[in-house]
Structure 1
Amino acid sequence: MKSIAKIQSTLGKLVRSTLYACAAVAVLSGNAAAAAKVRIGVVGSLSDASIYIAEAKGYFKDEGIDAEIIRFPNSAQMIAPIGAGQLDVAVGATSAGLYNSIGRGIDIKVVADKGSMPPGHGYVPLLVRKDLVDSGAFKSLKDLKGLRVGSQSPGGSALSLLNEALKKGGVPYKDVKISYMGHSQLAAALQNKALDAAMVTEPNATRAVQTGTVVRFSPQADQIYPSQQVAVVLYRGAFARQEAATATKVMRAYIRATRDYNDALVNGKLTGKNSDEIISILSKSTNEKDPSIYKVATAHGCHPDGMVNVASMKHDYEFFKEQGLITTPVDIDKVVDMSFARAVVNELGPYKPK
């Protein structure tokens, strides 16, 4: 009888173990099924920081988000995929191209800040050839008149920034010769004297200054055009409307990461207490692989509560209209939807620096 009892006990343990194992598998399977797949487009720039931080620190996973981060050569190439439902979240420049896409019926919402220029964060500086400054040919913004000036793209936010610089110098926009090329090409064109000045985004600006052939001209970009909204986070319209709970979870992860980024900043540089961790993430994830550049380059601003500078977007939109770059009018107030960011801030509370 004892042997039968032992066998029954052993069988009971096996059954219980099997049931526990099945339950565990069921729970794991349930969690896997519950994870929401979200496709996020990035360009690998430094201002994609919050997305990379959220991924590296597990903030998307904390929200039950299976984030698929997809690299694109530039933000313009994300417009068709997000319009076709192949992306849920994207990054974008506040450009004429973005507004024209929305005007054509691409269903996109601007939902959060990605890159802006609050005080100390002029990360798209005006660079001028050092020989022009040393010779006295360039002393102030009024000396931009007649110069060959470079910018990244027709209808980009840097053009509106350039226009503000010209206005401060009393120079009509038509009185400069503008050439368009990529960020790194702008710096190279300054060094070989194909350009006289350019609006160059970090970290390319710092690398150009380090060659000794160009100077970062004062006033800085954040003084020329305070708090310009340069880049934003975009949601596919249907994602925002039909998957609002998931969209809020994505925003919660994003804002947590953005606050980590802000905690790493001191006077516009990534030199704060957790900056080494942030730099490690960015040097592995972005196009800039040299960790040393992060502590000396001017860091982009990104509002820790995700808020977008709508007034800046409207200002730039009007400039684009004046230049004939807007093909179909749009209402900026209807383009921007900060409800997701506000919902998260209501839950987490306003940002408080650590």
Structure 2
Amino acid sequence: MPRSRRSALALLPVLALAAASCQSGGDRSDPEGSAASGGSLTTVRVAHVPSTLFAPLYLADAKGYFKEQGLDVELSKVKTGQDAVPLAASGKVDAVAAGFSAGLFNGVAKGLGVKVAASMGASTGERPSPTALEVSKRLVDSKKIENVDDLRGRKVAVAGGEGAAGGYQLAATLRQSGLTLKDVQVVNVAIPDMRTALAEGGVDAALAPAPFTTAMEEGGVAVALAVPPKGTSATGVVLGNAFAGKPAARKFLAALRKGAADLQGPGRSSDENLRILAEATGQKLDVLRKTPPYQWDPQLKPDTAQLSHQQQAYRDAGLLDDGQVAIRDLVAGLAEG
């Protein structure tokens, strides 16, 4: 099975790699990116936060869809999207697959040179849900928390805090019960640490993504109290402005859409797909088999309505500066073709 070259680089090595490439005058000399050793492939450097939310990226890589487009995609792992987006703006990477944060809106309002070019995984709104508001089973069993309204004033874990992508997902989930982010105490807890925080009483609830939700519930630590509304999305693909204007950007998105096509219908959880996701994200295959999948728009079109809602949620929480981003200016016109 053809695969693009993969890199396990963390954030600082990404910077070092970019610097070395520029100093050598090597593969970035090609106006379309960088050529592979055979001279026929264009290199596209993608920073990503490993998550099943970005399944189209991993399928396109593993199944050779990028190479079909003449691209050699280098995947570099980063911890958070808010750290990686500036790398795309400066050209140190070409694209970022990650969650959208308040920092993205603040940055673009101040002239940060990036565009949202694609959507990624969205909530199904169904139970079981890939992303869920998990509550300590101890508190549920003692009937101290029976509904979302019982979370008023309580500590809720969100990776990256209220200004991260999870903060918007939490806001959307709370809104269904008439609550806002200001009605709870949002605590910044890394996703892998949420289970321990719930078990030890450090937090009362956690907004967690798949497959961590499944692991928490099967471990008897948490119970899903609520799920984000159908279509809730706070993740996608961000391109640096310089890369967005190149033909390689359209080819990159075309390959992503082919990956998204493999995630439609009952075949989206095929054994082949799950094995690819397990390898890409470091999750256990048996857990992924039990985890409900996200949904992906076949064309991965940027969801302008969700972006607008997200910006407003951050503004309501007092997380945005004075600038207001026009969503039409934030989105790249590369969704098709």
TM-score by length of 2: 0.83
- Whether the aligned pair in 1 keeps the contact of 2:117 and 2:238 (CA below 8 Å) is yes
- Whether the aligned pair in 1 keeps the contact of 2:133 and 2:208 (CA below 8 Å) is yes
Partners in 2 of 1:320 and 1:46 — Cα distance? 25
Q: 1:291, CA displacement in angstroms?
A: 0.6
Deviations 1:162-218 (A, max 9, x none): 33443433445433222111111122101111111111111111111111121112x
Corresponding letter in the other structure for 2:202: A
Deviations 1:103-124 (A, max 9, x none): 2322111111112113448422
Q: Do residues 98 (structure 1) and 104 (structure 2) align?
A: yes
Corresponding letter in the other structure for 1:334: D
Q: Equivalent residue for 1:169?
A: 177
Relative to structure 1, the CA distance from residue 329 to residue 91 in structure 2 (aligned partners, 3 Å threshold; closer, same or farther) is same
- Whether the aligned pair in 1 keeps the contact of 2:82 and 2:100 (CA below 8 Å) is no
- Whether the aligned pair in 2 keeps the contact of 1:108 and 1:237 (CA below 8 Å) is yes
Q: Do residues 131 (structure 1) and 138 (structure 2) align?
A: yes
Partners in 1 of 2:318 and 2:267 — Cα distance? 38
Q: Equivalent residue for 2:316?
A: 322
- Aligned pair partner of 2:91 in 77, 82, 85: 85
Partners in 2 of 1:160 and 1:69 — Cα distance? 26
- Whether the aligned pair in 2 keeps the contact of 1:92 and 1:98 (CA below 8 Å) is no
Relative to structure 1, the CA distance from residue 171 to residue 33 in structure 2 (aligned partners, 3 Å threshold; closer, same or farther) is closer
- What SS does structure 1 have at the residue aligned with 2:230? coil
- Whether the aligned pair in 2 keeps the contact of 1:79 and 1:101 (CA below 8 Å) is no
Q: Equivalent residue for 1:252?
A: 254
Q: 1:281, CA displacement in angstroms?
A: 1.1
List alignment gaps of at least 5 residues for structure 1: 1-28, 344-354
Within 5 Å, give how 1:106-117 maps onto structure 2. Answer: 106-117=112-123
Q: 1:263, CA displacement in angstroms?
A: 4.3
Q: Equivalent residue for 1:230?
A: 234
Q: 1:298, CA displacement in angstroms?
A: 2.4
Deviations 1:217-252 (A, max 9, x none): 2x422xxx32112201111111112x1x21111111
Relative to structure 1, the CA distance from residue 58 to residue 172 in structure 2 (aligned partners, 3 Å threshold; closer, same or farther) is closer
Partners in 1 of 2:149 and 2:118 — Cα distance? 35
Partners in 1 of 2:76 and 2:181 — Cα distance? 37
- Whether the aligned pair in 2 keeps the contact of 1:148 and 1:197 (CA below 8 Å) is yes
Q: Equivalent residue for 1:240?
A: 244
Q: Equivalent residue for 1:141?
A: 148
Q: Do residues 331 (structure 1) and 326 (structure 2) align?
A: yes
Q: Equivalent residue for 2:275?
A: 280
- What SS does structure 2 have at the residue aligned with 1:91? strand
Partners in 2 of 1:31 and 1:40 — Cα distance? 19
Partners in 2 of 1:326 and 1:30 — Cα distance? 42
RMSD in angstroms over aligned alpha carbons? 2.2
- Aligned pair partner of 2:57 in 40, 51, 70: 51
When the two structures are aligned, how many residues end up with a matched partner?
Answer: 300
Corresponding letter in the other structure for 1:314: S
- What SS does structure 1 have at the residue aligned with 2:328? helix
Partners in 2 of 1:162 and 1:74 — Cα distance? 17
Partners in 2 of 1:232 and 1:75 — Cα distance? 10
- What SS does structure 2 have at the residue aligned with 1:115? coil
Relative to structure 1, the CA distance from residue 285 to residue 162 in structure 2 (aligned partners, 3 Å threshold; closer, same or farther) is closer
Q: Equivalent residue for 1:9?
A: none
- Whether the aligned pair in 1 keeps the contact of 2:173 and 2:227 (CA below 8 Å) is no
State percent identity of aligned pairs.
26
- Aligned pair partner of 1:211 in 204, 209, 219: 219
Within 5 Å, give how 1:163-202 maps onto structure 2. Answer: 163-171=171-179, 173-202=181-210
Q: 1:300, CA displacement in angstroms?
A: 2.2
Q: Identify which range, 148-157 or 204-213, moves more after superposition.
A: 148-157
TM-score by length of 1: 0.79
Relative to structure 1, the CA distance from residue 172 to residue 262 in structure 2 (aligned partners, 3 Å threshold; closer, same or farther) is closer
- Looking at secondary structure, tell me which structure has more helix per residue: 1
Corresponding letter in the other structure for 2:262: D
Partners in 2 of 1:58 and 1:112 — Cα distance? 20
Please tell me whether Structure 1 or Structure 2 has the larger radius of gyration of its CA atoms.
1
Q: Equivalent residue for 1:66?
A: 72
